[in-house]
Structure 1
């Protein structure tokens, strides 16, 4: 039986492995599907899975909590599902994951400005060091891939702001609500808009189920069930048992996994980028070190 300290680190490492792998899954799915189809299908499949395992938990959501569940759904699931799919269509999957590392910085900033959360010197120092590593990775990636459209890099940055707002919302307004209820409630509220979006892509009328499309659907199925359904529940549990900064520090580890997948898939990586990965890990250590 793991104690609280061991449990939160287990969740952190599991989420890093799962979400670090999600970028390569989206990249592979883009061979047969459009970004908007990937975003919509990810939400729809995850909703079906969550209804199977978490339908009864919806009764635990109070009337006054639904507005925060809906806000959480929009900021951390609906919009990011589409923005990341579009981002990976324009830049390397590993670079998109690196930009996700801005989430802890945004969590501290938004938490201190709007939610009354205080932070210690080592938190700020760790995040700044982590951001330094992130900047090195981004700049070197742009140098190695000069033909990529880095306007798409704005999409993961906007998503990281949404994630940061979501963590603070859950911590302040939904702390007593169990994670499965939050996650299932999130998807119930956005599945209809996702179905409407998918319908207007011609998925139900004009799509031909070629080998590429079938493989894309397979990758999205894995991403939706494991990377969205199961991982979202675990992340909400992590928020409950740890601080907002600790829970979002998973975004420092995600690029390590994503970059390794990128290397396997033929994406370029330099020794300087490997060094940047070590700097990021040191930032994670400082963020979570007890004085």
Structure 2
């Protein structure tokens, strides 16, 4: 069962980036990011309402940060980055998440970080720069700086994981997930319908249903259901085993990108190997 769940979570999360790309055909980056979180929040709303009575009030600010900084802002950054960055490359840079978890844990949350982990962080960052430079054939003027938006999103994931570990250890994972999305539901709902052009596209654009389907799938499966699967995977196996999806997700993302006509040069493939080597060293026990 653990292997089945690992394969499923890797397929779901590895497919997220191609779904974002398809949604961007019609929607703007902020519409994609907000709609994704809105749909996830809608699905998790009943669980979030029930969780309100179980979570101490003093923990609510931390849970709000988990939802807003750990989910909403990264979803916007990923969508904005993918207006200029291929989905395959996005999937690779996303693997920096565990690196930033370790780095922020060591810098701000008194967690230990070995010399091997530090080396992994450095190697991973060099690999990311190599990917971005390789895509520009090592011309500084041609480097795609939108790739750093993906790094910023994974940095927020790193902060988010440490907040959960340090300030919410006694709160159930499902309650954290559901309540964090419930707390930001009014914000993303208000912005989606009154702060973007989403409402105008509902009845006027013939591509609406297709694009909406991509992002709704991303929100419901790639966010709400995926978190439920991941939490269960941690319980029946281990956090280390669950985190191994980090190495499978880029492969899935690259596969979808190639199927969709994206291309990578030899320098980018080499950068991918460097990044995954850094991730492995940073998280190796």
- TM-score, structure 2 length as denominator? 0.85
1:242 aligns with 2:239: yes
1:43 aligns with 2:40: no
| Structure 2 gap ranges (5+) | none
8 Å CA contact retained: 1:37, 1:201: yes
Structure 1 residue 161, shift from structure 2 partner: 1.5
Partner of 1:202: 197
Which deviates the most, 233-242 or 273-282? Answer: 233-242
Partner of 1:222: 217
Alpha-carbon distance between aligned partners in 2 of 1:53 and 1:63, rounded to the nearest angstrom:
17
Task: Count how many residue pairs are aligned between Structure 1 and Structure 2.
Answer: 282
Partner of 1:122: 116
Partner of 2:11: 17
8 Å CA contact retained: 2:70, 2:157: yes
Q: 1:69 to 1:54 in 2, by over 3 A?
A: closer
| Structure 1 gap ranges (5+) | none
Partner of 1:187: 181
Structure 1 residue 148, shift from structure 2 partner: 7.6
| Counterpart selection for 1:257 from 252, 277, 280 | 252
- TM-score, structure 1 length as denominator? 0.83
8 Å CA contact retained: 1:98, 1:138: no
Alpha-carbon distance between aligned partners in 1 of 2:144 and 2:156, rounded to the nearest angstrom:
20
Alpha-carbon distance between aligned partners in 2 of 1:174 and 1:12, rounded to the nearest angstrom:
25
SS in 2 for 1:117: coil
Alpha-carbon distance between aligned partners in 1 of 2:47 and 2:176, rounded to the nearest angstrom:
13
Partner of 1:98: 92
Aligned-CA RMSD value:
3.0
